[in-house]
């Protein structure tokens, strides 16, 4: 039985750890939130009292943390000093490319194998084990990374060497942020024009406006039952997280000299939405800004 340590049991990590347990792996789970650890326990994981305790006997360590600073400190202060030599370390958080490369270099120095393996798919896919993983790792390590990830994945693609997974994720989420705003603007316009937004969803889902934000994560309640729009935009992918990813994309664009004006617009709109007090709501809640219906 593979022994997996799982660190970070939030909206995404909770479902992912449960998939590992369902696959009959011995999962030792830790989060700063006691409620999150309780949920993991109910899903078949065992509860660890600290990161150090979780990783002590692990063959593989999976982390799903908010941002780069969390990943840097958890690895430097707790994973590296306590994980068994040779353990495979997989960070699935979305973070900046530099942090991913820095943690990979430290891991190599200390004799660990490391992969950045951010995911796409949202909370429903995390629970169903149908996420897409974009992996940056040494070619020789990929088969083992794929095996560890398998219970959580519908597609695992090696993007390249360390950092390449995060580069793919940042580009993907720039598309997601811009496409969600486009979908929200269109739904708000449909409503103003007297067109039933649910009918618009049906039509555009089968027309050239079709995209993931519309068909799998519809911001208008009703058409996609699993979408956060049906739960008052609770859970899901927080606006603050989307803003973090759009900032990462703009920083990367500025550093590399790429032009990304739509990504910049999306960042500005999500920054405004966060300032208005909606950083904790799912990012699809921005629909209400365009409808002029913020509570």
The SS3 of residue 159 is: strand
User: Is the Cα dihedral 211, 142, 19, 235 positive or negative?
Assistant: negative
Q: Give me the residues that bind ligand NAD (CB under 6 A), please.
A: 7-13, 30-33, 36, 51, 64-66, 70, 74, 93-94, 119, 122-123, 236-237, 241
Task: Select which of 110, 169, 192, 255 is catalytic.
Answer: 169
Give catalytic status of residue 169 as yes or no: yes
Collect all residues with Cβ–Cβ distance below 8 Å to 73 and sequence separation of at least 6: none
Q: How far apart are CA 237 and CA 205, in angstroms?
A: 22
Tell how far CA 89 is from the center of its chain.
17
**Nearer to ligand NAD among residue 130 and residue 189 (C-beta):** 130
Q: How far apart are CA 179 and CA 120, in angstroms?
A: 15
Q: In whole angstroms, how close is the CB of 78 to ligand NAD at the nearest point?
A: 8
**Nearer to ligand NAD among residue 60 and residue 64 (C-beta):** 64
Torsion angle of the four alpha carbons 206, 212, 217, 220, in this order, in degrees rounded to the nearest 10: -50
Q: In whole angstroms, how close is the CB of 50 to ligand NAD at the nearest point?
A: 9
Q: In whole angstroms, how close is the CB of 87 to ligand NAD at the nearest point?
A: 17
DSSP string, 228-250: GGGGTT-SSSBHHHHHHHHHHHH
- With contact defined as beta carbons under 8 Å apart, do 184 and 287 qualify? yes
- With contact defined as beta carbons under 8 Å apart, do 65 and 85 qualify? no
Instruction: Report the residue closest to ligand NAD, judged by CB.
Output: 10
**Nearer to ligand NAD among residue 145 and residue 190 (C-beta):** 145
**Nearer to ligand NAD among residue 196 and residue 234 (C-beta):** 234
Q: In whole angstroms, how close is the CB of 192 to ligand NAD at the nearest point?
A: 29
Collect all residues with Cβ–Cβ distance below 8 Å to 240 and sequence separation of at least 6: 274, 279, 280
**Nearer to ligand NAD among residue 121 and residue 197 (C-beta):** 121
Tell how far CA 286 is from the center of its chain.
19
Q: In whole angstroms, how close is the CB of 15 to ligand NAD at the nearest point?
A: 9
CB-based contacts of 186-189 (< 8 A; 24+ apart in sequence): 187/219, 187/220, 187/287, 187/290, 188/287, 188/290, 188/291
Q: How are beta strands 131-136 and 119-120 bridged, if at all? A: antiparallel
Q: In whole angstroms, how close is the CB of 22 to ligand NAD at the nearest point?
A: 18
**Nearer to ligand NAD among residue 95 and residue 190 (C-beta):** 95
Catalytic residues: 169
């Amino acid at each position: 039985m593979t022994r997996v340590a799982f660190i970070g049991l939030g909206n995404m990590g909770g479902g992912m750890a449960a998939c590992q347990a369902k696959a009959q792996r011995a999962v030792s789970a830790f989060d700063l939130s006691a409620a999150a650890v309780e949920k993991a326990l109910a899903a078949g994981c065992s509860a660890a009292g600290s990161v150090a305790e979780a990783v002590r006997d692990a063959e593989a360590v999976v982390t799903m943390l908010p941002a780069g600073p969390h990943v840097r400190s958890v690895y430097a202060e707790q994973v590296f000093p306590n994980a068994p030599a040779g353990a495979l370390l997989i960070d699935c958080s979305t973070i900046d490319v530099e942090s991913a490369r820095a943690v990979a270099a430290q891991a190599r120095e200390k004799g660990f194998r490391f992969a950045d393996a951010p995911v796409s798919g949202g909370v429903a896919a995390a629970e169903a084990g149908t996420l897409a993983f974009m992996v940056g790792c040494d070619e020789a390590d990929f088969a083992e990374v794929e095996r560890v990830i398998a219970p959580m994945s519908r597609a695992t693609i090696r993007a390249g060497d360390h950092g390449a997974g995060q580069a793919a994720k940042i580009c993907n989420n720039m598309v997601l942020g811009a496409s969600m705003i486009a979908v929200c603007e269109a739904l708000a316009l449909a409503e103003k024009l007297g067109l039933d937004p649910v009918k618009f969803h049906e039509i555009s889902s089968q027309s050239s406006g079709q995209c993931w934000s519309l068909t799998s994560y519809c911001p208008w309640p009703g058409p996609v039952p699993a979408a956060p729009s049906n739960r008052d935009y609770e859970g899901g992918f927080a606006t603050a997280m989307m803003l973090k990813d759009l900032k990462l994309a703009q920083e990367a664009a500025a550093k590399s000299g790429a032009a990304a004006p739509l990504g910049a617009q999306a960042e500005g709109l999500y920054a405004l939405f966060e300032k208005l007090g909606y950083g904790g709501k799912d990012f699809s809640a921005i629909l209400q800004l365009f409808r002029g219906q913020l509570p």
